[in-house]
Chain A
Amino acid sequence: MKLRFDRGTILLTDPPQDLNLTEAPGLLWDPRVHAHRAPASRYTALKRWLLEGGVRFQDVTPPLRPIAEAWSDVDLRPYQEAALSAWELGHHRGVIALPTGSGKTRLALAAMHRTQLSALCLVPTRVLLDQWLREIRVVYGGAVGCYGDGMRQLAPLTVATFESAYRHMDQFGDRFGLLIVDEVHHFGGGLRDEALEMTVADARLGLTATPPRDAGAAACLAELVGPTVFELAVADLAGGFLASLDAITLYLDLTPEERSAYTSLAAVFNGVYTDFCRMAPEASWADFTRHSTRTAEGRRALSAWRQMRRLLFFTHAKRRALESLLGRHRNSRVLIFTADNETAYAIAREHLVMPLTCDIGRQERDDVLERFRRGDIRTLVSARVLNEGLDVPDADVAVIVGGALGEREHVQRVGRLLRPSEGKRAVVYELVTRNTIEVGQARRRRQGLVTRRSAQL
């Protein structure tokens, strides 16, 4: 009998006639190829089942291991040590949730070092791809592979973007024993989950600052990577392992013209939305948008909603407040966060500050970040690019002009300021427009900074 990796699955061929495979985990008869097949992610369970049954078989080709001598020691802080122990106790499967700036990458390096397994690290963006490659090379002297940003090199330690993993996991899913997923909250929603199902890696570590609160996504993630085994929030580490933080909310008004436009749009939207809520009290926002696209009235309501939000992205008062804050923190390193790229460019034009958006090329982006580190540039404005993972060590002021993605986005943005340094006290300004939808949005997103769930072992 033979086990073979076949495009994201495990093929089992030539089983002994007396072997009953109906109980084998994940295995189904594939009439297309006249053999049994299981998703690659069930490989370890299948192998264990076969071994426990005393069945002899030819195994899939074992992955190459990294060179043990090429590793340097990876020191951990006490909470990182505790997180890693929790993961080890969870049979090398699970999600670790730590605030941005608390050293999740270091934790992953320690996991690779301790397990000595070949590892595939998945990251969401090309910027993070570079960052992970750099970090690994600091502690590992052997070859490091890279899949993404035009590169296709495999090595026992490889870093790949989510997009590359999604496209190529069916080809290299049998080459790794440890799967590390940075910003793992991107999975569990179904869209790219198949990449995690197409690898045989049994040890799995998910890293995030914001584990999914939605029960469905959390359950799916627990199946794909493992449950959350350790979690700390910003409030647990601020002032100690993270910089101290002052969060200041500035409540601003609309001009009479803006208020009038906002009120008209709100009337159009509220009329339809209130009716919908009365008709379907349990329905979600997604249900509402789906329902609304079916009627002209619904489409008008959705259009009004989008216009309301756009109106709030960069109001007259926000303009003035931002000008004042930039003047006040002229000598600090400031990050400005906006709800969309359009606002980021508007701010860049008005205040001559560098925008960092998805439209800015990789080389220029690296160059800009380097100049920001050196202090040649003191302010950056961004809608999304600075949200996640990017290492911006010395920023100490953030101005949140607008947000589009809620609690998770807010936690990640605040995390940009939390890397500690001697005597550092970071400040986050939130610009919130009074008597608008922004008030509720701001209240909800702040929850993420203090919410903490205990480790689940």
Chain B
Amino acid sequence: MNPIQDTRWSLVGLWLMLCSIGLIAIYSATQGPVSEFLPAAIQSTFAKQVLVIGLSVVVMIAIQFMNPRVLILLSRIAYPIGILLMIATLWVGKEVNGAQSWIVLFGFNLQTGEIMKPILIMAAAFYISSQRELNLVKPRHFAVVTGLFALPIGLLLLQNDLGTALIFIALYPVLLFWSGFPKGMVLLLTIPPLVGYAALYHWGFGLAIGIMLTLIIISMQKPRWQVLAALAIGASVLLFIQIGLEAVLQPYQVARIRTFIQPELDPQGAGWNVLQAKTALGSGGLFGKGFMEGTQTQLRYLPEQWTDFIFCVIGEEWGFLGAGFVMMMFLVLFWTMLQMMGDQSHPYSQTVILGFMAVYFFHFLINIGSSTGLLPVIGVPLPFVSYGGSSMLTNSIMIAIALNFDRNKRSFSIYR
């Protein structure tokens, strides 16, 4: 076994590439002419990001020297510790932008929800793959997996960190899907959120989505009760939302919900950010305005341009060539990780790598969806590109663990 040859360097290259693009964008977004209008704390983000990347390199290398079993053990120990930290955050945490999700640990501002991502995935994967006969339809197994997810999701909601909570919620059906939970059931689970979200736009959309998912279940030749359940769930969600919008909620509350999912309805309020983000991207055009030349960026029209709207900075200054390139990089990342998953023979490492990929993918989806005005502005970072110490470190650790498992794929075992 040759550690150099067996390392998947393409993944390392992707990591390096995305981090570098991020640094360039953060530099422009905080050190460019715009720095005049930014508070001192924001102006130091570039230096902090460089430090965190340095720290990440050290941690990533250290992880490469660990036995996969040690990592697995660590993740099992880390789950209760992580939960305790999240609970502690509720009391002693630091509030940033309305979310109380940071805790100061050894001089670092740690976002507990972020570090929980690999821990949760690994813990859930361990539980799933360690059962001799895992049948998630069994209430006990289903309850444990659901509990593993529900605990951090509940805590994140209490912390008011909706973005990270959404990532975890989305992760849940993915892991169920992979771990042998009946496909029809997974689809059933996705009906309420998808139909509900579509119905908020218009009941017709909700209906269409509901019928589509039902048709998929029918085409998969699932039992009749699942089809009926799908119809029943879809219909009740539709009815519930329609009654809520028409009869229960006050008009101003309905307006608030509508502007959340369709910010364009309120161009002076919630829609302003989205309009500025789209303007940044659109005015960038094919080739962009040039490094530190983006007027939307440099004149402070973009909100949170060093984190949540970093993609717009790239799109404005480097144009479609730059932004499209970043998207390509992510597609290659997802493809590579799926490839790595497929190369694994152990269900545990398959589940873990898939989970990591899913985390990146949901971040990517929500972040760029928000930036392009397809999704409401929820505020999640773009992995490796956005500023953020905890998320950078966590995402890098996940890359490192995936690299480790990948190199050890032939001898992989979760037991001694």
A is bound by B: no
Q: Which residues of B contact A (CB under 8 A)?
A: none
